[in-house]
Amino acid sequence: MKKTLIVLIIIACSDLLSTSVHAQKKFASIEKNVNNSANNLFHDLNKTKDTLILRGDKNIRYVYSINKSYKREINQLINASSAKVPLTHLTKGKHVFVVEQMPLKIVFVIKVFGDKKTELDTSTEIVKITASSHN
């Protein structure tokens, strides 16, 4: 009876530890805009959850984010139909993203759980947004 109880306790503890380890690996999460007018813009995170992928039928003109201190951490002119926006330089917390596809402004939220990179690493990454046109 004691052996069975000890085995159950070990299994329960290992299950709790593995759940917390998986939760820590998640860098960010996205709360998508579910409005019908936002259907033309694909906005999601990549598999590692550290890059925002944007793709649309219309040109994406502009992307910016506002953090919980009301400061813009991303402020980029795109002028392409798709873009990849790295999130690794963002501070922890809630970020409201605005993507401008004329005449619409599509708003959604990304919550960052991971630590941002050091200032040495982010100096070039803040302005680096890879965009490509599909004509």
For residue 20, being part of any structural domain is answered with no
User: Could you tell me the residue range of the domain that residue 114 belongs to?
Assistant: 27-132
Q: What is the pLDDT of residues 97-112, one digit of tens each?
A: 999 998 999 999 999 9
For residue 10, being part of any structural domain is answered with no
126-to-38, 65, 100, 123 alpha-carbon distances in Å? 26, 12, 19, 6
CA dihedral 13, 29, 127, 56 (to 10 degrees): 150
The pLDDT of residue 3 is: 73
For residue 70, being part of any structural domain is answered with yes
Domain containing residue 86: CATH number: 2.60.40.3080
Predicted model pTM: 0.69
For residue 45, being part of any structural domain is answered with yes
For residue 101, being part of any structural domain is answered with yes
Structural domain count, the chain: 1
For residue 86, being part of any structural domain is answered with yes
